[in-house]
A and B are shown apart, each in its own frame.
Chain A
Amino acid sequence: MKVRVFVYLKKGVLDPQGKAVEHALHSLGFNNASDVRISRVVDLHIKTTEAEEAKKQGEKMARALLANEVIEDFYVEVSA
């Protein structure tokens, strides 16, 4: 199964990178852009045909390493 782990900063956690990108977008004329946040996507493959099992493992990986739950939230998507 293909597993995609989305890791993003929790609401309220300052994202200076997002802020800088937002400023750059404004200077390119995209003045209506706001609330820019930068996230991370981790793609991986898990040797199983069970979607539930793949999702569970992806979540385990996120908790163990891929996300830091002090500052980040995550969700996992699975596809064949």
Chain B
Amino acid sequence: MSDANAAPQGKIKWGRVRQSRRISDKLLRVFATTSTMLAVFVLFWILGMLIWKGGQGISVDLFTKITPGPGSQGGGLLNAIVGSIVLTFLGIAIATPIGVMAGTYLAEYGKGSKLADLVRFINDILLSAPSILIGLFVYVILVMPFQGYSGWAGSVALAIIALPVIVRTTEDMLRLVPNSLREAGAALGAPPSIVIRQISWRAAKAGIVTGILLALARIAGETAPLLFTALNNSFWFNWNLTGGISNLPVTIYAFASAPYDNWQQLAWAGALLITGAILALSIGARSLLNRK
């Protein structure tokens, strides 16, 4: 033992690892660690910027007053916040029944069928289709024929973006339900529709809700498809959702690129609100899934 310790460290190479191997290993470790740190750093940089610049604009007025005119002082984002909530929830309300039913078809009825394979494939493509094209599509089918922007068009665009997320998670979650549960239900004489509703859906409930929350987080910050469907509006909106509807993302876009300090301040505050809401939703969805 004492001999080994006495031997001069410099002369005996540790093991027989070639220098080049050790260097390449070191380089990989440094590179991988740096790139991860960079990604985490960017996240905190963005969050820090939002809190720093947006935090100053958070006030009671933000939630009680409507958007101010160009160059004027004061005002808030009340109409944009309410408009965004209405559009987003309407979008989810349209997408959820269709998405859950389509996911149910893929997981329960369409096992091994060609149609189900095709739908699954197309759904995956729709999942990553550019959102601006969905905006254009809704413009062509809903805005052009009816000669006008509307909240309905905006929420349909958001629904089309939310739909593939819901289809995908519903299918994945229903596939996790053990078949023995379904067989037990069928053995009691329950027809497929009752087995699905009373057994599969119940067992997969947490997962399906997670999917809906993720879809909500996905569409809450979408701007591009709203640009030419719901447009924007600086007034309180009418509840039949015709005409331009004020909404947070498009308001932020318009205010951030405008030369008025007051507007920019509101844009930062709105950005903080929307990012906070989306991150809270994603974290909530994740913890819901992990709790199971």
Chain B binds chain A: no
